[in-house]
């Protein structure tokens, strides 16, 4: 009769058979599953609860079931803003208020992580928060306002990723002055259907440039500030 196998010495892998360590086999199995899931998630058309975020990260239009007939997404009203009700599309005159306010700062500076306590002490996202929050008094991503704890001018406040689901999602063809042009690395305010103003880098400061060619982190998404925010006083 064969003797029972001796326990594995401390510090060594247990084995499922002659010469087969359990830990490497388990890790290989987990790795294979994650690889399969990654391909299945990103390449398939299967519906997932996170599809709106998946669309944003891949630079695609928001999924059809999150869009209204007008082409404006209504599934997410900028995190923390649901108390304002369903988003209402603004008029061109209202969105032009945003671009007009932003253009006043052309030529100002750029400071990475700047809290926008004064014009020019901002980066791309705190510049947008300054224009929307201070100049126009609008509610910012997360439901706070300019001057609240955690928001400019006390802190940097929402980053560009927070603006990716702020307001209403629109198509590239719908962009007009005052809309937001956003990726995970950059954000600007449209002044036309092909140009925007943004705080870019220390050497160039806050200036006008084209989009979407050369936009950091790939194709941007396009967001429109709802009229609700203009009357959320």
Domain ranges of the chain: 1-46, 63-231
Where would I find the beta strands (DSSP E) of the chain? 15-17, 20-21, 168-170, 180-182, 187-190, 195-201, 205-210, 221-224
Task: State the pLDDT at residue 24.
Answer: 75
Is residue 131 a contact partner of residue 119, using CB atoms and an 8 Å limit? no
8: which DSSP letter? P
Task: State the pLDDT at residue 162.
Answer: 93
| Total residue length of the chain | 233
Question: What is the per-residue pLDDT across 82-129, written as a single tens digit (0 to 9) for each?
Answer: 444 555 555 556 678 899 999 999 999 999 999 999 999 999 999 999
Torsion of Cα atoms, 75 then 76 then 81 then 86, to 10°: -20
Phi and psi at residue 187, to the nearest 5°: -150, 140
Task: State the pLDDT at residue 227.
Answer: 62
pTM of the model: 0.64
Task: State the pLDDT at residue 167.
Answer: 87
Q: Distance between CA 126 and CA 208 in Å, rounded?
A: 17
Task: State the pLDDT at residue 210.
Answer: 92
Task: State the pLDDT at residue 198.
Answer: 96
Phi and psi at residue 172, to the nearest 5°: -55, -40
Contacts of 83 by beta carbon, 8 Å cutoff, 6+ apart: 143
**CATH class for domain 63-231?**
alpha beta
Look at residues 149, 144, 146 and name the one whose alpha carbon lies nearest to residue 126: 146
Peptide bond preceding 142: is omega within 30 degrees of 0, i.e. cis? no
Task: State the pLDDT at residue 83.
Answer: 45
Task: State the pLDDT at residue 228.
Answer: 58
For residue 99, count other CB atoms closer than 10 A to its CB: 20
For residue 179, count other CB atoms closer than 10 A to its CB: 25
Task: State the pLDDT at residue 46.
Answer: 47
Task: Give me the residues of the chain with pLDDT under 50, please.
Answer: 11, 14, 16, 44-49, 59-84, 231-232
């Amino acid at each position: 009769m064969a003797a029972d196998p001796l326990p594995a010495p401390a510090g060594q892998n247990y084995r499922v058979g002659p010469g087969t360590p359990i830990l490497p086999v388990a890790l290989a199995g987990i790795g294979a599953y994650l690889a399969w899931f990654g391909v299945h998630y990103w390449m398939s058309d299967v519906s997932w609860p996170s599809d709106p975020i998946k669309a944003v990260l891949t630079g695609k239009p928001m999924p059809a079931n999150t869009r209204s007939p007008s082409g404006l997404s209504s599934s997410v009203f900028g995190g923390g803003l649901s108390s304002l009700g369903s988003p209402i599309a603004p008029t061109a005159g209202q969105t032009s208020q945003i671009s007009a306010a932003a253009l006043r700062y052309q030529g100002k500076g750029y400071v990475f992580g700047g809290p926008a306590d004064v014009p020019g002490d901002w980066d791309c996202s705190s510049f947008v928060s300054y224009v929307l929050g201070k100049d126009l008094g609008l509610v910012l991503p997360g439901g706070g306002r300019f001057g609240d704890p955690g928001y400019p001018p006390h802190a940097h406040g929402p980053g560009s990723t927070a603006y990716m689901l702020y307001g209403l999602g629109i198509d590239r063809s719908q962009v007009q002055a005052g809309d937001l042009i956003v990726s995970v690395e950059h954000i600007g305010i449209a002044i036309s259907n092909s140009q925007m103003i943004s705080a870019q880098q220390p050497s160039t400061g806050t200036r006008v440039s084209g989009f979407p060619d050369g936009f950091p982190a790939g194709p941007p998404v396009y967001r429109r500030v709802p009229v609700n925010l203009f009357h959320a006083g």
